[in-house]
Structure 1
Amino acid sequence: MSTIPAPFVVAIDGPSGSGKSSVSRAVARALGLAYVDTGATYRAATWWCLAQGVPLTDTDAVAAAVRTLPLDLGVDPDAPTVVVDGTDVSADIRETAISAAVSAVATNLEARAELGRRQRALIEAEREPGSFSGGRGVVAEGRDITTVIAPDADVRVLLTASEEARLARRALDVHGTADAQAVEATRDQVLRRDADDSTVVQFHTAADGVVTVDSSHLDFEQTVEAVLAVVTAASRA
């Protein structure tokens, strides 16, 4: 994969449980690129608002808090970090309480615009020689990455899967098992988040120029290979 031109930007979006994060990290690792998790910026903003006592129902206060968010996002695919005001919140932002609340920030249009600006800056930074990737580029993932944040990416992929597969994956990730009880416990979190976020961004259907990779019947390694195949095809075009 070292034959891809530099800088090279891969954008991957898709619904909850589609495997965006883990697949994107593996693709970035294989290509020697940086990794930007745009979803982590929304989670970090949610954590910051809650830590500051900002009511998530107060849209103006949330937007104001996000504009002052002291965020440092690490872009190493082997060890991505999320640091807010000097505190590593990489684990904290994955807690259920944040997952349940993050849509309040993600659907706040002013907050979304500010975080989008920061996401673009992170992507642009990886085009420079002094960046983590040395100017090779980045794999960026998130719900609106292929249409709003990086519509000019060299490769744009919609990573999707059946609802059944997505629920099972998220249940395994959160509960350590994909039995019926765990899947049911995860259902509301996954489907409600998708429903909430779909009010401000489209991530269920591929836009023009975006390649769909359906991982419903693929294991993790096969999904990574499928995305890398899209990259290879694009770099040779």
Structure 2
Amino acid sequence: MSSPLVVAVDGTSGSGKSSTSRGVAERLGLRYLDTGAMFRAMTWWMLRQGVDVHDPAAVAARAGEPEIVSGTDPTAPTIAVDGTDVAVAIRQEDVNAAVSPVSAVPEVRARLLALQREVIAADGGIVVEGRDIGSVVVPDAPVKVYLSADPAARAERRTAEEGGRDVEVTRASLLARDQIDSGRATAPLTMADGAVHIDTTDHTLAEVIAQVVALVEDAGART
């Protein structure tokens, strides 16, 4: 019995991971998982509980408490914590500012890794996006992609998505997030062995989706 197809999409913030992953999943009839939303959901819960997110021991002590459930429909992905829809709440500025220190806590990563693998192992192929999918979560994924883009382009995209923020402030925030995520001891942001690097700076979303779909189809033809 063959294993479900897993497409691992990693990369920097604002490089187009979510839009690309959802587009590829839609095109190919696959499920979709945004692992970043899971870390944001954990962060949102920690903030709501009054946990000091800059105290790794305090975060670790409570990492096992929240129930985090991710929907996998690429046309309408959902994320809930203890039965509450937090899709909008996890994109707020307080979560933006706190997600990196929470994500760096090994106990958080271990808890969410287990949840991610449960979702991935369910029926049907899946496109999974994050920062350590190809390197840690599913290192044997048949298709691994690493997306990046020029910091200025990433800042413009993220500002357009969120609205109202200054582009330079957004750019500084993205670069700071990159530095934290790349430098953390547990599962740092990195391009996995065997991943195909796509610089999305000068490509439209449709072009990037088409490139990834071609990689998936090529992988299917070779198996």
RMSD: 1.6
* 1:222 aligned to which of 175, 198, 207: 207
**Corresponding residue for residue 72 of structure 1:** 69
TM-fit CA distance, 1:202: 4.1
* 1:191 aligned to which of 163, 168, 175: 175
Q: Which runs of 5+ in 2 are unaligned?
A: none
Within 5 Å, give how 1:93-108 maps onto structure 2.
93-108=90-105
SS in 2 for 1:198: helix
Return the alpha-carbon distance in structure 2 between the equivalents of residues 81 and 139 of structure 1: 15
- 1:209 aligned onto 2:198: no
TM-fit CA distance, 1:24: 0.4
CA contact (8 A) 1:158 1:203 kept: no
Counterpart amino acid of residue 169 in structure 2: A
- 1:28 aligned onto 2:25: yes
Counterpart amino acid of residue 228 in structure 1: V
CA contact (8 A) 2:9 2:21 kept: yes
Return the alpha-carbon distance in structure 2 between the equivalents of residues 70 and 6 of structure 1: 27
Return the alpha-carbon distance in structure 1 between the equivalents of residues 12 and 87 of structure 2: 21
**Corresponding residue for residue 127 of structure 2:** 139
TM-fit CA distance, 1:136: 2.6
CA contact (8 A) 1:32 1:136 kept: no
Runs of 4+ in 1 over 6 A off after TM superposition: none
Return the alpha-carbon distance in structure 1 between the equivalents of residues 206 and 114 of structure 2: 32
**Corresponding residue for residue 147 of structure 2:** 159
**Corresponding residue for residue 221 of structure 2:** 236
TM-fit CA distance, 1:53: 1.1
**Corresponding residue for residue 5 of structure 2:** 8
Counterpart amino acid of residue 177 in structure 2: R
Return the alpha-carbon distance in structure 2 between the equivalents of residues 90 and 213 of structure 1: 28
Counterpart amino acid of residue 149 in structure 1: V
Return the alpha-carbon distance in structure 1 between the equivalents of residues 45 and 192 of structure 2: 32
TM-score of the two chains, using structure 2 as the length reference = 0.93
CA contact (8 A) 2:143 2:216 kept: yes
**Corresponding residue for residue 19 of structure 1:** 16
Q: Which runs of 5+ in 1 are unaligned?
A: 126-134
Moved more, 57-66 or 35-44: 57-66
* 2:120 aligned to which of 108, 120, 123: 123
Return the alpha-carbon distance in structure 2 between the equivalents of residues 203 and 50 of structure 1: 24
- 1:91 aligned onto 2:91: no
SS in 2 for 1:22: helix
TM-fit CA distance, 1:64: 2.4
**Corresponding residue for residue 128 of structure 1:** none
Q: Percent identity?
A: 47
TM-score of the two chains, using structure 1 as the length reference = 0.88
